[in-house]
Amino acid sequence: MALMNYTSQTPASSSISYIETKLARRGAKQILKMYDPDARVEGIAFIIPVDGVDMSFKLPAQVDACEQTLKASIRRPRSDTYKKVAKQAERTAWKIVADWVDAQMAMIELSQVEFMQVFMPYLYCNANQQTYFQMMKAKGFQKMLPGAVSEPKE
């Protein structure tokens, strides 16, 4: 299997703590964990100043999607295999987010990118509880492109 971190033994809580530390060191003023109905952390929201303006962001971990991918890759399951997959999916999803944040912060620190270049999709609107990416997706990406032709008005 070529999936990144699919055998990670790093607890999700350790990966989440690592992400919080990276964000705090970068200047996050507030960091908040968002939970799903099963009391699992589904995202980390944070406020960080960008060019002097406090901006809200949300980094999600798609644990359910990760679980489905891991289950689909199982060829010969044992009786307890699927029970273990849910915990593994949580570890894997959060470890991938932690690695991504680590890589992005390294690029920012080395002046390879600006903070907003990599975190913009995760801008978070509290009013509609969506990230910028989710709002763009709902509107249709084609309509968001520069020079996109708008529909003729009747």
**Edge-to-edge, what's the strand order for the sheet holding 30-35?**
30-35, 41-50, 53-60
Distance CA 128, CA 95 (A): 28
Q: Where are the domains of the chain?
A: 12-135
Predicted model pTM: 0.85
* pLDDT, tens digit (0-9, with 9 covering 90-100), for 46-67: 999 999 999 999 999 999 999 9
* pLDDT, tens digit (0-9, with 9 covering 90-100), for 80-139: 888 888 889 999 999 999 999 999 999 999 999 999 999 999 999 999 999 999 998 998
Whole-Å CA distances, 16 to 31, 59, 98, 136, 146: 11, 11, 7, 27, 36
Structure tokens given for 54:
């406090």
